[in-house]
Structure 1
Amino acid sequence: MTGPRDQFKPADHPNDHFLLTTVVGSYPKPKWHDRARELFEDEDADFGEDEWEESKDDASRLITHEHERAGLDVICDGEMRRNEMVEYFAHRIDGYEFNGRVKVWGHNYFDKPSVADEVEYGEQWLVEEFEFTDEVAERPVKVPITGPYTLANWSFNEVYDSEEQLAYELADLVNEEIEALVEAGARYIQIDEPALATTPDDHAIVGECLERIVDEIPDDVRLGLHVCYGDYSRIYPEILDYPVHEYDLELANGDYDQLDVFKEHEFTKDFAMGVLDAHTAEVESVAEIKENIKKGLEVVPPERLTVSPDCGVKLLPREVARGKMENMVQAAREIEEELDAGEIDVVASGAEAHADD
């Protein structure tokens, strides 16, 4: 699968080369939006469903435009309507129930769901979110969706004989949701599977899940897989067989220690490489980001490189996240100019790229 990439190149793109710039998904929520959620959840507050919907709409519109002002080629609303990547979907899937919050790290808690009955597709999950964002956006919109393996792995399974069986059932539901998104006009879907790199022996299960997900999805829909954390050498090159166009991988946080993993076998798909550390509350300079982008050119040629943060940036201060996005876009455009001028020599896919002195 080579992937329908050119549809996301702006008509007024300034350079001949095109490095697709995008975000992974989550973005810092405005403080007033967090306060609105607290009021909505407070039974004693005079803050109802209509006010909460207005807050979500306003926050989504604000962050969508903030992404566009940063110059990103493909945007999203920063997941302003979502609280957590598994919990949000479990609330919308028939068969899940919640029994209280569990501590995951530091002072962070996760309302870990249980599968208490057979899972079924009831209400749509993301279609209204996409339609709203697509209406207010002037640039193409990407839809991140938590994958079935992570939905299964991060839940208590009280019904199915195995986690594998649960994952396959959930994959069929994800397929239904993506079909609905495509019908609504979505052309860029990112499937988030952070659990994959933490349990790499199950990469065949994820592969089967993806086969179910992509069933009857049109060829003009770009499908990405986001995997963060873990040892990529335990899942690469096997994951290249997955039926997706693009792999979105976290590498900046590890100072690109795992980059060589992807040079040992030809990277035959598109490479969405993290060039911003989502865990560091410092804005990387344009020069630093340009050096990171060049590392990606050691793995794939420019026409198959996507430039993005390592992961969602929701835990950063908003002004830091905004600065990172702006510098990332500027760095990508400068690299494109240098590629146009022949100042960066890209030998071939999988070969080393370097800047001419």
Structure 2
Amino acid sequence: MVRSSVLGYPRIGINREWKKVLELFWADKLEETDLHIQLQEIRLNHLRKQQEMGIDIIPVNDFSYYDHMLDTATMFGIVPKRFAYEGGAVPIHVYYGIARGTKDAAASEMTKWFNTNYHYIVPELNGAEPVLTENRPLLAYREAKEKLGIEGKPVIVGPLTFLKLSKGYKAAETDAWLDRLLPLYVQLLQELASEGVQWVQMDEPILATKLSADDVLRLNKIYETIAAQVPALNIMLQTYFEAVDNYSDIIALPVKGIGLDFVHGLTGNLVAIQVFGFPADKVLGAGVIDGRGIWRASLNGRLDLLQDLVELVSEDRLIVQSSCSLLHVPVSTERETKLPSELKDALAFADEKLSELVLLARAVSSGRSEISRELADCERALQALKLSKARNRQDVQDAVAVISAQQVERQQPFAKRHIAQQEKWQLPLFPTTTIGSFPQSVEVRKARQLWRKGEWSQEQYAAFIREQIDIWIKLQEEIGLDVLVHGEFERTDMVEFFGEKLEGFAFTQNGWVQSYGSRCVKPPIIFGDVAFKEPMTVEETVYAQSQTSRPVKGMLTGPITILNWSFVREDITREQVAYQLAYGLRQEVEALEQAGIGMIQVDEPAVREGLPLKENEHANYLAWAVKAFRMTTCTVQDSTQIHTHMCYCEFHDMIDSIEAMDADVISIETSRSHGEMIHGFELNTYKLGIGLGVYDIHSPRVPAVEEMTDMIDRALKVLDPKLFWINPDCGLKTRGMDETVASLRNMVEATKLAREKYSVSVSV
């Protein structure tokens, strides 16, 4: 009998109740006891839903108070010394301090979870003395069994993945750290085995990346040790996000089950099984339902694949499951009442994916006739979307084919453009600016809500937006910034705003997913051909420029970020979609320039996160990503200054591609990674304008002038002072007004000190 399972379920709740509870607690409006009570109820509701929908093997310990990597670190007592942790179970204020920072201690670094849009908190191992502070998987297992009668499958971040994604140790110390961590994993698993746990899901997504020979040896050591010391426990070694490269090594490990991704890693994993077979003593977790995408699966196609797998692995050793955790998709399509039927019928969020899993397991066991009606409904829905007018815009397809075949480069190289721009703008040494957005207060959000409900007219709303622009233009001038922004008060999300104004996009009412902590985003759906309709940002930007003699940047989101932060159609390549986006955004860039805006920022914070996990695919992706950016920006005059922005990713291995984008100025996050990005520029020269963020905007603390000065001094050891800008890490939308103004004042003060220090040695 084929069983169904899922690798994890969204934490946020169908009404984002998880987010709301956390934020009440952070605002001191909820006691800690009530925090635990309310989060438990949310957690149990999620388990209850999976139980009622018929999932056979239900995950536990996939729920988190913030992030699963942070959970693992604190479970092992790995807490940075600056948080004054004294041992034992990590207090909730320390837990959230690591994630969000405190007035006395900076938050830990945050970066992308592989190539997804989810951010995790990076564990800091330096100085830690790991110990098992509490067995969280055991507590989650007991809760599910006692409260709901569920024989849960505890989910644990595996030792190799945890170690490889942590920081604060040298490569030569890797084995020593493994020797510290492995006994704790053994202790944890022994306690689970003693409790009678049947299956444990050990997540090792690192196996989808390139492993060194030493890493393969470590992998063997980990699972041979576990097998020897916890022989009664069934371990499902779970991989996802791609095919595994070391298939032969992995199937030889002494584990009871191996989970493989047959969506994003379909070709590699299927060929590996066909060539090398699958062990007769192991269970295969077949990830056939996409845990990251929102499109309804072709059930016939999935059944064809499962039938192929049954021929290689018997039914009793097959578990039908999601390709990865459903953390990355919205909860349910049930409340989406405004989408076109041809689109809604082709969607599957987390709950719909649970149904797909149950149907597939049933059909493999009992035959397709058992789900014949569902199969027919599925094929009708997929065909209707395929034939829709939105997906067959010949005008767009022809235009994009023409411009993508043209040369995409600026008229003059950067050195000549820089001279023209300096003559035009007369900027001082170390120009100061911000990344784009300013705090979206309660009043701003309320005004937008009134406008969207029709209670405010367009004229009322536009007048309100102009008032906010006026306030912040004056504040920026008073603070002393050199290049200003209008503040983006008319915008919700940086991708959603543009998607609403371009054709080919659709928007959900409740399609929220977790980005980091309580920060949830509602990604647009690119379901048709993308087309420009009319100017999107010109009105507000031109108004802001009319209120000041200082330059105001036009602010756009770039094509690759829109691509990577949206749910994207699957019937054409992502490269083709990127070029359609670039074509639409190019028309907006040209409209801004024609309206007199001579600085235009095209943000691309998500370029790095779209990088494929397989190294042999990097060059092709970066080539078309760079081309799409240049398609967007290449038609402007030499004196028009193109800016871009990137944040919260490791960029050291793609600096050449960043330079190839040929933006006149790039701003990159560095403060939360404690200046580690600067090391990349110590190893690689960068010849264009650049600003390295000097303070972390994701923390509420106001950084001291001295902190920013230290960051500036280190950066100027490796970067050309004539090309150096000073700015925060990212946009300031989520911050409060007082802390924003205070931080920016300190940033300007740090800039003044830097100008005094370096002005003698630098001739601008």
TM-score (norm 2): 0.42
**Equivalents in 2 of 1:6, 1:328: separation in Å?**
26
2:628 is equivalent to residue 209 of structure 1: yes
Give the match for residue 71 of structure 1.
480
AA in 1 matched with 2:497: Y
Post-superposition offset of 1:5: 3.8
Match of 1:7 among 403, 414, 424: 424
Give the match for residue 129 of structure 1.
540
**Equivalents in 1 of 2:720, 2:634: separation in Å?**
29
**Equivalents in 1 of 2:567, 2:700: separation in Å?**
33
Match of 1:95 among 492, 504, 524: 504
2:597 is equivalent to residue 183 of structure 1: no
**Given the superposition, is the C-alpha separation of residues 238 and 34 from structure 1 closer, same or farther in structure 2, using an over 3 Å criterion?**
closer
Give the match for residue 83 of structure 1.
492
> Could you report, residue by residue, the CA deviation over 1:209-240 in whole angstroms, capped at 9, with x for unpaired residues?
12212332111011122111111122123321
AA in 1 matched with 2:532: Y
**Equivalents in 2 of 1:159, 1:257: separation in Å?**
36
**Equivalents in 2 of 1:340, 1:215: separation in Å?**
33
Give the match for residue 337 of structure 1.
756
**Secondary structure of the equivalent of 1:313?**
coil
1:148-167 alignment to 2 at 5 Å? 148-158=559-569, 161-167=572-578
Post-superposition offset of 1:304: 0.7
**Equivalents in 1 of 2:552, 2:449: separation in Å?**
28
2:668 is equivalent to residue 249 of structure 1: yes
- Contact 1:160 1:166 survives alignment (8 Å): no
Give the match for residue 692 of structure 2.
273
Post-superposition offset of 1:300: 1.5
> Could you report, residue by residue, the CA deviation over 1:319-342 in whole angstroms, capped at 9, with x for unpaired residues?
111111111111111211122355
AA in 2 matched with 1:102: W
**Equivalents in 2 of 1:27, 1:275: separation in Å?**
17
**Given the superposition, is the C-alpha separation of residues 5 and 228 from structure 1 closer, same or farther in structure 2, using an over 3 Å criterion?**
farther
**Secondary structure of the equivalent of 1:21?**
coil
- Contact 1:76 1:141 survives alignment (8 Å): yes
**Equivalents in 2 of 1:5, 1:210: separation in Å?**
23
- Contact 1:283 1:324 survives alignment (8 Å): yes
- Contact 2:554 2:601 survives alignment (8 Å): yes
Give the match for residue 352 of structure 1.
none
AA in 1 matched with 2:471: L
Give the match for residue 150 of structure 2.
none
Post-superposition offset of 1:77: 1.6
1:282-297 alignment to 2 at 5 Å? 282-297=701-716
**Higher Rg:** 2
Total equivalences in the alignment: 336
**Equivalents in 1 of 2:670, 2:555: separation in Å?**
19
Post-superposition offset of 1:268: 1.1
**Given the superposition, is the C-alpha separation of residues 119 and 297 from structure 1 closer, same or farther in structure 2, using an over 3 Å criterion?**
same
Structure 1 stretches of 4+ with a deviation exceeding 4 A read: none
**Equivalents in 2 of 1:67, 1:222: separation in Å?**
20
Give the match for residue 649 of structure 2.
230
- Contact 2:642 2:665 survives alignment (8 Å): yes
2:591 is equivalent to residue 169 of structure 1: no
**Secondary structure of the equivalent of 1:276?**
coil
Post-superposition offset of 1:6: 5.2
**Equivalents in 2 of 1:328, 1:155: separation in Å?**
33
**Secondary structure of the equivalent of 2:530?**
strand
Post-superposition offset of 1:49: 2.6
Post-superposition offset of 1:68: 1.4
1:309-320 alignment to 2 at 5 Å? 309-320=728-739
> Could you report, residue by residue, the CA deviation over 1:5-42 in whole angstroms, capped at 9, with x for unpaired residues?
453335xx6xxxx1110000111023322222233334
AA in 2 matched with 1:122: K
**Secondary structure of the equivalent of 2:504?**
strand
AA in 2 matched with 1:69: E
Match of 1:308 among 698, 705, 727: 727
Give the match for residue 239 of structure 1.
658
Mean Cα displacement is larger for which, 19-28 or 159-168?
159-168
Post-superposition offset of 1:74: 0.2
AA in 1 matched with 2:743: K
Give the match for residue 56 of structure 1.
465
Give the match for residue 143 of structure 1.
554
Post-superposition offset of 1:243: 2.0
**Equivalents in 1 of 2:751, 2:674: separation in Å?**
19
**Equivalents in 2 of 1:239, 1:108: separation in Å?**
27
**Secondary structure of the equivalent of 2:725?**
strand
- Contact 2:439 2:734 survives alignment (8 Å): yes
Post-superposition offset of 1:99: 2.8
AA in 2 matched with 1:52: Y
Give the match for residue 608 of structure 2.
197
- Contact 1:94 1:121 survives alignment (8 Å): yes
Post-superposition offset of 1:186: 1.1
Match of 1:258 among 671, 677, 702: 677
- Contact 1:59 1:80 survives alignment (8 Å): yes
- Contact 1:145 1:189 survives alignment (8 Å): yes
AA in 2 matched with 1:78: G
CA RMSD between the two structures: 2.0
Post-superposition offset of 1:125: 1.0
**Given the superposition, is the C-alpha separation of residues 315 and 60 from structure 1 closer, same or farther in structure 2, using an over 3 Å criterion?**
same
AA in 2 matched with 1:29: Q
Post-superposition offset of 1:315: 1.2
**Given the superposition, is the C-alpha separation of residues 6 and 277 from structure 1 closer, same or farther in structure 2, using an over 3 Å criterion?**
farther
**Equivalents in 2 of 1:136, 1:160: separation in Å?**
46
Post-superposition offset of 1:144: 2.0
Match of 1:104 among 511, 514, 517: 514
- Contact 2:441 2:736 survives alignment (8 Å): no
Mean Cα displacement is larger for which, 155-164 or 301-310?
155-164
TM-score (norm 1): 0.88
**Secondary structure of the equivalent of 1:308?**
coil
**Secondary structure of the equivalent of 1:224?**
strand
**Equivalents in 1 of 2:458, 2:452: separation in Å?**
10
**Equivalents in 2 of 1:109, 1:301: separation in Å?**
38
AA in 2 matched with 1:75: L
**Equivalents in 2 of 1:27, 1:265: separation in Å?**
33
**Secondary structure of the equivalent of 1:25?**
coil
Give the match for residue 742 of structure 2.
323
Mean Cα displacement is larger for which, 312-321 or 104-113?
104-113
Mean Cα displacement is larger for which, 64-73 or 148-157?
148-157
Query: Which has the larger share of strand?
Result: 1
- Contact 1:9 1:20 survives alignment (8 Å): no
**Given the superposition, is the C-alpha separation of residues 209 and 291 from structure 1 closer, same or farther in structure 2, using an over 3 Å criterion?**
same
AA in 1 matched with 2:496: E
**Given the superposition, is the C-alpha separation of residues 243 and 80 from structure 1 closer, same or farther in structure 2, using an over 3 Å criterion?**
same
Mean Cα displacement is larger for which, 295-304 or 153-162?
153-162
**Equivalents in 1 of 2:562, 2:610: separation in Å?**
14
Q: Which runs of 5+ in 1 are unaligned?
A: 347-357
- Contact 1:203 1:239 survives alignment (8 Å): no
Post-superposition offset of 1:107: 3.5
Mean Cα displacement is larger for which, 231-240 or 247-256?
231-240
Q: Which runs of 5+ in 2 are unaligned?
A: 1-413, 612-617
AA in 2 matched with 1:40: W
**Equivalents in 2 of 1:146, 1:80: separation in Å?**
15
